[in-house]
Amino acid sequence: MCSIQELPELKAKILERVALSAKDADVRAITRWSKAAEQCEKFIQESADLTDRVKSFTDSLWQKQGSNSVTKQPLTSKLKMRMSPKLAGSRNRREWVRMLSSKGILLNGHDKRYYTKGLQSVGIAFANELDRPQLIDKWFLGLKDEPTDFAVLLCQDLEGKLHDFILPVAEITTNWKALGRSKGGQVLFHIRRDPKGFVLLNPIGEALNITKYIGKYQALK
């Protein structure tokens, strides 16, 4: 019997079966295990959504009540204010993957690591623009430093608009190698918005304009 906590591990095992079936050119097995992976991903997303809802519910129970104030903030504003960066990243990644699904583009995986139907690896990072003078129009993101076919960078601005960059690593190899790395083993991305669009800053070279990669969903089919 598999518990909810074991779903990500189960998903990884299923994806291994998908990969093995692909190597053996076993179409029936590929179909079977791919469907299993999709179902497992659905369970993972549903359990994560339930966790978010329970957390929001329990937080609201103990939230300090104002004395006689009749002005209330919208619920979405309250949730956003008390949502941790980790929770915000998790929620926005799941919502983005669901948005792709509505367009007929299915990604299998969890957390920051996903795979396309063609088994290409996709790393997904998220960051908010911070309301501080020195950080306006800037986003700082990170992904595990491992072989990746696509790096998806989700950058939400202060107005709540999400700018999603789908970067094919093979196309930006030189820039990818020049990106900073953290001691914790992450590739670091520093994105800045300027009059020409969005640029990915390079610590040792010229910045790369990545505006053209916004919303390039078809690359993930």
- DSSP class of residue 195? T
> Are the beta carbons of 131 and 160 closer than 8 angstroms?
no
User: What's at 78, amino acid-wise?
Assistant: K
The Cα–Cα gap between 182 and 142 comes to 9
Tell whether the model's pLDDT for residue 78 goes beyond 80: no
CA–CA distance, 112 with 91 (Å, rounded to integer): 11
Q: What is the mean pLDDT of residues 117-130?
A: 93
3-state secondary structure of 21: helix
Distance CA 152, CA 93 (A): 10
- The model's pLDDT over 25-61, given as tens digits with 9 standing for 90+, comes to 887 888 888 778 777 777 776 666 666 667 666 666 6
Helix-, strand-, coil-residue percentages of the chain, each rounded to 5:
45, 25, 30
- pLDDT of residue 213 exceeding 90, the answer is yes
Q: Using 50, 70 and 90 to split pLDDT, how confident is the model at 75?
A: very low
Q: Band of the pLDDT at 77, cuts 50, 70, 90?
A: very low
Q: Could you tell me the CA-to-CA distances from 126 to 71, 83, 153, 194 in Å, in that order?
A: 32, 14, 6, 20
